[in-house]
């Protein structure tokens, strides 16, 4: 093996090692992000001593109406709701 081939091999191995470390650190950050999203919920164990009021709800509504103009379409949607 010539010196230039040896240098290319060493460079390739070093670049692969750097890439592997960067990939591992990146995946660790992604995993930490998913773990922190799971901790946003409420976990209740045992008995509750205070009544809690759930006063917020998020509803997703999709309405579709076909009409020649926007104003006619809005009128049709309002008439059906």
pLDDT, tens digit (0-9, with 9 covering 90-100), for 14-33: 999 999 999 999 999 998 88
Where are the domains positioned within the chain?
3-41+57-80
**Cα torsion for 66, 72, 76, 78, to the nearest 10°?**
130
pLDDT recorded at residue 8: 92
Which helix or strand (DSSP H or E) is residue 76 part of? Answer: helix 70-80
> Where residue 74 falls among pLDDT bands split at 50, 70, 90?
confident
pLDDT, tens digit (0-9, with 9 covering 90-100), for 30-72: 988 887 776 666 666 666 567 667 788 888 877 677 788 888 8
- Between 8 and 36, the more confident residue is 8
């Amino acid at each position: 093996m010539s010196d230039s081939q040896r240098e290319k091999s060493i460079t390739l191995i070093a670049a692969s090692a750097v890439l592997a470390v960067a990939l591992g650190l990146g995946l660790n950050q992604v995993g930490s992000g998913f773990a922190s999203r799971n901790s946003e919920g409420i976990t209740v164990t045992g008995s509750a001593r205070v009544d809690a009021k759930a006063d917020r709800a998020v509803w997703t509504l999709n309405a579709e109406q076909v009409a020649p103009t926007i104003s006619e379409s809005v009128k049709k949607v309002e008439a059906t709701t």
